[in-house]
Amino acid sequence: MLIALAAVLLLVLMRQLPEPDRIGWWAVVSFGVVGILLEIGRTANKSGAMAGSLVFVMHLAIGVSLGGFYGAMTAAFITGITQTYARVNPLKIVFNVSERVISVGFAFCVYVWLGGQHPPLVLRPDEIGVVLPFNVALIEIGIFLAAAIVYFVVNSVAVNTAVALSTGKSILSTWRSNTLWVLGYDIAASLLALAVAYLFVRFDRAEGIGRFGFIAIFLPLIAVRHYYGRLNTVQDLYKELDSAYEQLELNVRE
């Protein structure tokens, strides 16, 4: 597939880009564990838009924290593991993994070209020893938002092109109906990725058991969302049973 080849070429290009000073195995593992649990939760509960939101927030947080190469590889690994777990068609897994690499990769190539750092200074004020000037913080946030826009555009183009080709519809009409109306919400929600990245940076620099803090914060949220999804499933089942019972009553009366 062309998209898989493009993903490989982009990974080769991203190896030339600046990376954070230190990326330990624990950084990748902690993001990977949280990301896998979130995506598995989304697979199990397909009813809420928030599930999808949490996924793209995690992709952007991984990219801004680890850099384009490791961010793209981690996001792709999470997607590959969770979709294999969900028994998705292998060809679709290849497409989705490649799309993750391209979306995260392009976004943080642009981020670096605009002068962004991994992670940005606004997420590590303790290191610089002084209060970060307001205008510098705004510039860093603006660079991140530009990268987020690139992420959403590349992601939507790849996905909607595939949908349009499979359904025979116009790519533009598919993009308008599936993406355009939520783009503003997605861009605003992407700021949550900076909060996630801040938590990661804070706990990644901790000593000893403190490094488990990043995972520990997300586990209760993931558990609550999992049980909420189960509750929705039970409610849907009750509605189906009520509907079947009402239909049975009508049939008996007739």
Residue 169 backbone dihedrals phi, psi, to 5 degrees: -90, 165
pLDDT tier, 52 (very low <50, low <70, confident <90, very high otherwise)? very low
Extract the tokens encoding 48.
């809420």
* pLDDT at residue 9 in the model: 87
* pLDDT at residue 2 in the model: 78
Residue 120: partners with Cβ closer than 8 Å, 6 or more residues away: 64, 140, 143, 144
Q: What share of the chain is helix, strand, coil (3-state, %, to 5)?
A: 85, 0, 15
In angstroms, the Cα distances linking 95 to 4, 43, 158, 181 are: 7, 17, 9, 24
| pTM, 2 dp | 0.78
Asked if the model's pLDDT at residue 239 lies above 80, the reply is: no
Separation CA 229–CA 146 (nearest Å): 33
Extract the tokens encoding 253.
């009366």
> In the chain, what are the domain boundaries?
2-214
The closest alpha carbon to 118, from 65, 163, 68, belongs to: 65
Q: What is the mean pLDDT of residues 159-180?
A: 69
Residue range 185-234, pLDDT digits in tens = 788 888 889 999 988 888 887 777 877 888 888 776 666 665 555 555 55
Asked if the model's pLDDT at residue 33 lies above 50, the reply is: yes
Separation CA 99–CA 76 (nearest Å): 8
Cα first-last separation, the chain: 57
